[in-house]
Amino acid sequence: MSRRIVAMIRARIREVLRDRSALAWNFLFAPLLVIGMATVFSGGPQTVAKVGVIGDLGAAPLLPATHPFLATPAVDFYPEVEGEKAIAKVQRQRIDLLFDLRVSPARYWVNGESAKGQLLQQLLLSSEPSARVQPVTGASIRYADWLVPGLLALNIMFSSLFAIGHVIVRYRKSGYLKRLNGTPLRAFEFISAQLIACLLLSIVITGGVYAGCSALLDLRMEGSYWTLLLVTALGSMTMIAMSLLVSARIASEELSGGLLNLISWPMLVLSGVFFSLDGAPALVQAAASLFPLTHMLEAARAVMLDGAGLVDIAQPLLVLSAMTALFLALGAGTFRWTQE
């Protein structure tokens, strides 16, 4: 090995060691990720069916809190709110049975096309023969139809976060921003150009990937493509604005990469990309609601799988809009051309 190579290795190691914030993050990231994953996925025995329960599981007014059906092993019972959304979950076979504890005799909704639902029905009737059935029908949603929106949103998240955050930090570190500051270009113009360019690229790339997946997998699309485009654009803008906030002042690529990973990995784990949050602990659902990816996925899946319109997804769109405005205001307000 030549002396020049050794010298470069030493220089790089010294550079990393001098950046104490990035060095500390490199040591802390893996343990934090392991602890977080272990906390989220640790729990009791694996369940084989999921049942939504309408009513207080701890103090049902008309039925004993220890209803025999609630003691069925390997079944995940979680609280649900009565309404069309809960029944739609049974229709789409997202849950296997919906059980109402508020009335006596109990009533339940089950999909006649669900094998697990039929089995749960027999178990319920064996413990309470007078329970009233509310039959629903509907084909199950393929996992591909449910997963693809999550993967596309995940691609938007990573590309939006790192395309802006990492690039601006590199510009600042190399002195490129300092040179731009000597031109008539204003900070508002520079930030706007970066945001618009990243947004256009994100929409075009995501649209191309979606078209390819739809052609190969015959994806389910019940809603309007224009509504889905709005969700995609607004979700991308929120991620871009979040990245701008991270890169507003930082000049260390290692530190910016660590912070962006700190933001992206919890969203990857907790936003429901690979699994449904139905029945998840209240703490997990509360944490997930803080992430824009969660609201983007909620809106996109509602449009694609349930045919939701703008009124139906108004809440996640409003949350994304508020997050975008907040991140843009903070990011633009703290932006600096140089590190000083």
Q: What is the pLDDT of residue 60?
A: 45
Distance CA(272)–CA(293), nearest Å, equals 9
Same domain, 59 and 128: yes
User: Which pLDDT band holds residue 252 (cuts at 50, 70, 90)?
Assistant: confident
Q: What is the pLDDT of residue 320?
A: 94
Q: Of 136, 166, 184, which closes a domain? A: 136
What global pTM score does this model have?
Answer: 0.70
So what's the pLDDT on residue 323?
A: 93
Query: What integer is the mean pLDDT of 47-54?
Result: 83
Residues 192 and 307 in one domain: yes
Mean pLDDT of 224-231: 92
What is the pLDDT at residue 61?
A: 45
Distance, CA of 18 to CA of 57 (rounded, Å): 55
* Same domain membership, residue 185 and residue 126: no
**125 is in which domain, residue-wise?**
49-136
Kindly state the average pLDDT of the residues 299-312: 87
Question: Is 187 in the same domain as 256?
Answer: yes
* CATH assignment of the domain containing 57: 3.40.190
Is 35 contained in some domain?
no
Q: Assess if residue 205 is contained within a domain.
A: yes
Mean pLDDT over 55-83 rounds to 69
Work out the average pLDDT over 255-279: 79
Read off the pLDDT of residues 102-141 as tens digits, 9 standing for 90 and up: 777 888 888 887 888 888 888 888 888 888 888 887 666 7
Establish if 32 belongs to a structural domain: no
- Could you read off the pLDDT of 177-212 as tens digits, one per residue? 788 777 777 777 778 777 888 888 888 888 888 888
Please say which residue of 101, 116, 136 terminates a domain.
136
Question: Do 181 and 166 share a structural domain?
Answer: yes
**CA-CA-CA-CA dihedral for 141, 142, 147, 152, to nearest 10:** -90
Indicate whether 203 belongs to any domain. Answer: yes
Same domain, 82 and 209: no
Query: Residue 321: what pLDDT?
Result: 94
- The span from the CA of 72 to the CA of 123, in Å, is 8
Instruction: Write the CA distances from 77 to 53, 56, 70, 252, 319, integer angstroms.
Output: 7, 11, 7, 47, 29
Residues 321 and 219 in one domain: yes
Closest CA to 95 of 104, 105, 85, 107: 85
Residue 291 placed within a domain: yes
Q: How many domains does the chain have?
A: 2
Give yes or no: residues 238 and 324 share one domain.
yes
Q: How many Å separate Cα 154 from the centre of its chain? A: 8
pLDDT tens-digit series, residues 166-184: 778 887 877 877 887 777 7
Give the tens place of pLDDT for each residue, 140-171. 677 777 788 888 888 888 888 877 777 788 87
**Residue 318 pLDDT greater than 90, yes or no:** yes
The arithmetic mean of pLDDT across residues 50-58, rounded, is 76
* Residues 72 and 192 placed together within one structural domain of the fold: no
pLDDT category, 43, cuts 50, 70, 90? low
Q: Say yes or no: 284 and 330 in one domain.
A: yes
pLDDT at residue 62 above 50? no
- Count CB atoms within 10 A of the CB of residue 77: 21
Report percent pLDDT > 90 for the chain. 10
Identify the weakest region by mean pLDDT among 34-48, 194-208, 259-273: 34-48
The mean predicted confidence, pLDDT, of the chain is 78
